[in-house]
Structure 1
Amino acid sequence: MGSRRDYYKDPNAPKANSLVPGGSALVVDSGGAVLMQRRGDSGNWSLPGGIMEIGETLEQCVIRETKEETGLDIEIAGLLGIYTDPAHVIEYSDGEIRQEFAITFYGRVTGGQLAVSHESTEVRFVRPDEMASLPVHPTVRLRLQHHFEQRVQPYLG
């Protein structure tokens, strides 16, 4: 796996050269803890997700990526929001500089067993009171904030 560096509202960020549709899952357990993985490439805690492959819907992508990254089977249960902030760019070691394009769905666990993937160093349900002390990118914190606000309508941004 290559390295990545996130830039957010950084005037010195490199100019994006790529726009790729991606998605993530916000999955909550019965106690209100959120399914998260600690990324191997950045060390940040993040929601499971990834980019679409040809031949699949975004919902299928999020279900597949969640299974690959956490070991859990989920079903899509709703839409948290659409996140397309051009102020968030991600630079990869291969020269790709991607502008954020991510749709975050609510997911519900239907099976599987929690397991760490090659992309992460830890996978678990993180309690809301732990969030502030963990390394979490501001764009992921925004998604968590929208979840905890119990918004009636999906975020569009």
Structure 2
Amino acid sequence: MAGMSYLSELRAVWGSAPLVSVGVSVLLQDEAGRVLLQQRGDDGLWGVLGGGLEPGETFLEAAHRELREETGLSCPDLSLMDLREGLVSGPEFYHRYPNGHEIYLVGLRTQGTLPAAALAHAVPDDSGETLALAWFALDDLPPLNSNINRVSMNVLRARVGLPPLPLLPVPDAPPTGNHLLALRRLVGPRPLFAPGANVLVTDEAGCLLLLKHGGTGRWTLPGGSLEPGESLEQCAARELHEETGLSAAHLEPLRLYAGADYRFTYPHGDVIDNVSVLYRAHGVAGTLALPAEEIHGAAWFAPGALPPEADLSGPLIRAMVREWQKGRSVAAPASG
């Protein structure tokens, strides 16, 4: 690949300390159900295909690119996994590379099928990242290089009734701070991935809770950026409580938003590429309490009486609110 990757550019100023890495895994199976694995050039162990997103990419675009780079192959039926199987986040997705670089992977799995014979035509690129490619039965796997790969194999193993592979021990997650702000101080206004979560909260009348953001003066949903070692669901619960004082008995993942359509530029010029899971809150409890320095107001809106889109905080929130409105406007707001 020409030039430095997004993660390499950050490493140049951040060093080896943990970074949140936004990535995609590519799980390909043949007609016998075997999975295609890659022997890695950095440690000689095996893992699934995939890699980090570049700014502006969707997960599916990145999956096709990584597959092409690592195998020279294409997969016509490559698709995103359902969020219940496909989401990747949390302390178990820590990895320390042989060069000492540490990451917490956040992202999504993709899946597809290829005939076993396709492997004869594989031509990996010349980066040295791929030492070998081979098909493996799910009950006869080679030495895997990280929990990232073990958990992916466990998703496929569960489908056919095989027990899960044990996970490797991981260090305690770093204390919650403001990872994105710390990065921003080093890199300036350039685009940064902002993996995180937003939450749909509705009242008994079926109205949606929106918050007036202090920094932009626009309406937004409860939510924010993920910290290293935090799962997306934990991020959603933390941000919901910090910004509203509310808690939810259950958070249901609805959709993952990523790609150039959801880039946001703050009034002061900082640019983020949002990678956000939209959750629906169930069993909401507590009393609305706003952090005055960050949130300057809150209101409940019926599907047909939402603020104008220009008053919503950027393309991500507009898309999320549209999706909620579409689902709610087909009938009168529910009561109870």
Are 1:126 and 2:301 an aligned pair?
Answer: yes
CA distance in 1, matches of 2:239, 2:256: 18
| CA pair 146-91 structure 1, distance change in 2 beyond 3 A | closer
Q: Who is 1:9 aligned against?
A: none
Unaligned runs of 5+ in 2: 1-188, 329-336
Amino acid at match of 2:302: R
The alpha-carbon deviation at position 41 of structure 1 amounts to 0.6
Give the 3-state SS of the residue equivalent to 1:53 in structure 2: coil
Letter in 2 for 1:57: S
Aligned residue identity for 1:142: A
Report the structure, 1 or 2, having the larger strand content.
1
TM-score, length-scaled by structure 2? 0.37
Distance in 1, matches of 2:273 and 2:217, equals 20
Match of 1:81? 255
Q: TM-score, normalised by structure 1?
A: 0.75
**1:82, 1:75 → 2: CA distance?**
21
The answer to whether the Cα contact below 8 Å between 2:233 and 2:251 also exists between their aligned partners in 1 is no
Alignment of 1:114-153 (within 5 A): 114-117=288-291, 118-133=293-308, 135-136=311-312, 137-150=314-327
Aligned length: 137
Distance in 1 separating the partners of 2:269 and 2:304 = 37
Q: What is the alpha-carbon distance in structure 1 between the residues aligned to residue 295 and residue 222 of structure 2?
A: 10
Which residue identity lines up with residue 82 of structure 1 in the other structure? Answer: L
Name 2:208's counterpart in structure 1. Answer: 34
2:186 — aligned with what?
none
Q: What fraction of aligned residue pairs are identical, expressed as a percent? A: 29
Amino acid at match of 1:125: W
Moved more, 26-35 or 141-150: 141-150
Relative to its length, the structure with more helix (as a share) is 2
Q: Structure 1 unaligned segments of length 5 or more: list them.
A: 1-14, 152-157
- Compare CA radii of gyration and give the structure with the larger one: 2
RMSD: 2.5
Residues 274 and 316, structure 2, Cα contact 8 Å, conserved in 1: no
Q: Give, in angstroms, the shift of residue 131 of structure 1.
A: 0.6
Q: Deviations over 1:35-58 (max 9, x none)?
A: 110100111111000111123211
Residues 15-34 of structure 1 aligned to structure 2 (within 5 Å): 16-34=190-208
C-alpha displacement at 1:143, in angstroms?
A: 1.1
